[in-house]
Structure 1
């Protein structure tokens, strides 16, 4: 069993695709996960499981079966999340963790699409394409960010996004 984090895309945003966190924890436990915990109400789960890919596959199937809708799930081993956190090139730059986004690809090839994202590269916003995530620094906030807008328009369905504060909380919550 290894520490794992599961990131569920698009649940509990607005009124659609609602999943109670207690139900999500039960789904994970039914898949053999141990030390299951959820963070916030937006599809973040940590646990110990024998396979991150099998956890993702099982949660997608359980959500479809038990909730009646589909939701993409990315599960990472704790060590992979640690590597993504350690590789953050903007950790020192980001004075507001809510403006630093990590976009986790739901399929590996999605990261290559990040190169097409358009924004003012001479401006304050920054995009870095890492090995396991894309890092978006939206210096003036998300609402008026050309970077966040173009990223979402071009690639939104291919990623699940968390802000830096949430990523650090997930890392800290991993059962080691």
Structure 2
């Protein structure tokens, strides 16, 4: 089967695909919708959860702690395009938010309409791009260079910029304007 693009929603990890390039889309893109309050979309980045899941599983221990979950496609090192997929009035981590991606008027459904209609490049002008999750960092002072921020090695991309969006900016009144995208 040939695909131009791939859309991953609330993805708990990409198993053995460690980057968008692993999808072999021949010029296409991997798009990711991951609500910052959806705990399922965080499974790929939680080493301790992967460790628990793989306890007593020799294959999981030999192939790596993230086996069965894999790399978080919403992380900054994956190479995907993350689109907005937040849930209005959601307050904190909520398993029900994993079922909101196809809700009529949602940010995610609006973004998928752009992508499926061949207008994924319009996500930016439509205000539907989200920043990727990133690793926590520390700022250190290096003589001659000054202050430099570095990622903390061995930590997952657990900082989600979508957490800081004002609640009023997350709505469920999005519609796809087909004539605008011709």
Same structural fold, with TM-score higher than 0.5 when normalized by the shorter chain: no
Structure with higher Rg: it is 2
Greater RCO (Cα-Cα under 8 Å, separation 6 or more): 1
Name the structure where strand makes up a greater proportion of residues: 1
* TM interval, short-chain normalised: under 0.3
Using the size of structure 2 for normalisation, the TM-score is 0.25
- Using structure 1 for the length normalisation, give the TM-score: 0.25
Higher helix proportion, which one? Answer: 1
